[in-house]
Amino acid sequence: LTVSKHSLVALALTCTTASSSAWQTTFRSGVEVVTVTVSVRDGNKVVTGLDAADFQVTDNGVVQTVSRADVDTVPVDVTLVLDTSGSTAAIIEQFRRDTQQIAALVRPVDRLRLLAIDTFAHELMPMQPAGGPVILGGAPSGGLTALYDTLAASLMSPLNIDRRHLVVAMTDGIDTYSAIRPEALRLVAARADAVLHIVHARSRFMGTPMYLPPDRRYALIPHNQRHFERVIWAPLDPSMRAAYLDLDENWLRLVAESTGGQLHGPTLVGTGTVGAFTRVFNEFRQSYVLRFTPEGVDRSGWHELKVTVPKSPRMTVRARSGYSR
């Protein structure tokens, strides 16, 4: 049996649950290493120069030994998710221009993939080395919004131990036609290796009142076509519409934060979204990839993670909320 060094590393680093399913590859190893992408800020400044000893990681409350803290040497896989559905019709051309600018920001060592949110979740461009042409001509547009489906699809990607995975989604934040419920997206996000950042690209409100009552100050607006239980009677007023949008924003914030990412915005498309991506990408590049071998905890089940920098408690540390085995 010949086993390459790379395979051994992969074997050691891959955190995979054994299963009898024919779909699964089973990895068995006495040593399993968990990787966690961590970004550290002091106020608005990204903190660099930390090493493994500066971090404290607890796994289900048990302090772990961080063996390595790599910075910037690990290439990044970027999945860019664009909302091209009908509710973004007014801003879709700007979205397309933004995508070209964003693609140019990604380093040659990194890779880029494009997904689109419409009635379906679409893969416009599979993961490929950055620097190549980004052609969005065939992008769907004008449909309903399978936002949760597309975000889940972006997060359920193969584990690649040599790279970090950053997902940046630009959307107006309103799901109208997903197959999965938001609770399912949260569970996926909690178990994903990717870090999800959502840029809430706000345009003019594009929701559709389904019925205008005689009073004419209210409209019944389905907040989410599938999850109609959250329908609201919304005043037809721009400032109150923010409250309407906040309902989905709260879900999206929870989802992003459980991966170690954030919800950004709302921002206007154009300079706002490109600027938001630039900040996210630069911070992600400077984030640390911590590695540890879990000790003193059960092998299976959900593992809640907490990452801190004990010597500087005021620093803001963002990392995924846990992992499962």
Among 41, 163, 226, 279, binds other proteins (CB under 8 A): 226
28 touching other proteins, by CB under 8 A = no
Q: 169 or 185: whose CB is closer to other proteins?
A: 185
236 touching other proteins, by CB under 8 A = yes
Q: What are phi and psi of 219, to 5 degrees?
A: -140, 145
Q: How many residues does the chain have?
A: 325
123 touching other proteins, by CB under 8 A = yes
105 touching other proteins, by CB under 8 A = no
256 touching other proteins, by CB under 8 A = no
Q: Which 260-319 positions form the footprint of other proteins (CB under 8 A)?
A: none
| Beta partners for residue 170, in sequence order | 82, 199
CB atoms within 10 A of CB 44: 7
Does residue 260 contact residue 320 with C-beta atoms inside 8 Å? yes
Tell me, what amino acid is at 292?
A: F
Which range, of 62-70, 186-194, 195-203, 248-256, touches other proteins by CB under 8 A? 186-194
247 touching other proteins, by CB under 8 A = yes
Among 233, 278, 311, 312, binds other proteins (CB under 8 A): 233
Which range, of 28-36, 57-65, 242-250, 307-315, touches other proteins by CB under 8 A? 242-250
Contacts with other proteins by CB under 8 A: the residue count is: 73
Select from 74, 34, 76 the least CA-distant residue to 57. Answer: 34
225: DSSP letter: S
218 touching other proteins, by CB under 8 A = yes
DSSP per-residue codes, 24-59: PPP---S---EEEEEEEEETTEEP----GGG-EEEE
Q: What is the 3-state secondary structure (H, E, C) of 132-145?
A: CCCCCCCCCCCCCC
Which range, of 66-74, 92-100, 210-218, 277-285, touches other proteins by CB under 8 A? 210-218
Among 225, 286, 293, 321, binds other proteins (CB under 8 A): 225
